[in-house]
Amino acid sequence: MRILITAGPTREPIDPVRFLSNRSTGKMGFAIAAAAVARGHDVHLISGPVALAPPEGLARFTAVTTAAEMLDAVRAGLAEAEVLVMCAAVADYRPATVSARKLKKGEGPMALHLERTADILSEVAPMKGDRVFVGFAAETERVIEEASRKRRDKGLDLILANDVSSADAGFAADTNRVTLMEAGREPEPWPLASKAEVAARLVVRIERIASCLGK
C-alpha cells in the first residue's frame, strides 16, 4: 500500500529565535514508517523538526516546520496515498503575529496573542473516501474518553491512545503503552512494548482493515 505518515512536533515562530512547540521527538512516527517499509509498503514520511535520521527505504521524505506546512504536505501527499497515519504532535496554537526582529525582554511581563492552527485531520476529512485514517491521542487525563471522542469527531478508522504523563510511555521514551480503539470494537489495551513493536503491530492491523476495504 501507499502509506502517508506524519511524525514529530511542529514549531510556530514567535520571532527569529523563539518558537512554540512541544516535547514530541518523532520516535513513534519514525518507528511506524520503518515498520511499514519492512512490510513492503510504499511510505511517504512527513516530519517536523527532529533529531532522527529518516528510516532507510522510504519512497519519500518531507521535512516541514510549521502546522501550516504540514497541512500543505499532507494534502499533497494524500492524493497518492491509501492510508494516512497522523502521528505528529501538531501545535494547536501559534502566535497571531510573528516579529521580524528578536523581541527584547523588558521590566514587566510580555503577553502573546495566540490563534488556532488548522486541524489537519478535519481539513483533509473530505479526501478520506475509502482511505484508512489512523490517529493518535496523547493525553494526560480521561485518556480513553478523549481518544474515543477524537475518533468519532474526526471519522478515524483507528486511534491509538496513550497517557503521555507516564515516564515509560510519554514523549522521548523508547517504549509505549497504548490502547487501540476501532469503530465497532471495545478498546484494546496493548501492553508496554518498544515503539518498534507497537509500530509493527499497528501496521499489521492497518493491513487487516485495508484488506476489508479491498485495498
Asked whether the predicted pLDDT for residue 75 surpasses 90, the reply is yes
Domain assignment of residue 106, yes or no: no
Is position 22 annotated as part of the catalytic site? Answer: yes
CATH number at residue 158: 3.40.50.10300
Domain assignment of residue 101, yes or no: no
Q: Which of 22, 148, 166, 194 is catalytic?
A: 22
Asked whether the predicted pLDDT for residue 204 surpasses 90, the reply is yes
Domain assignment of residue 104, yes or no: no
The model's pTM is: 0.95
**pLDDT for 183:** 83
Domain assignment of residue 56, yes or no: yes
Domain assignment of residue 63, yes or no: yes
In 3D space, the residue among 199, 158, 163, 28 whose CA is nearest the CA of residue 148 turns out to be: 158
In 3D space, the residue among 68, 58, 123, 59 whose CA is nearest the CA of residue 91 turns out to be: 68
Number of domains in the chain: 1
Domain assignment of residue 69, yes or no: yes
CA pair distance 119, 211, nearest whole angstrom:
28
Domain assignment of residue 105, yes or no: no
CB 73 within 8 A of CB 122: no
Domain assignment of residue 194, yes or no: yes
Tell me the per-residue pLDDT of 7-65, one tens digit each, with 9 for 90 and over.
999 999 999 999 999 999 999 999 999 999 999 999 999 999 999 999 999 999 999 99
Rounded-to-10 torsion of CA 63, 65, 69, 73? 20
Q: Which domain holds residue 182?
A: 2-95+114-212
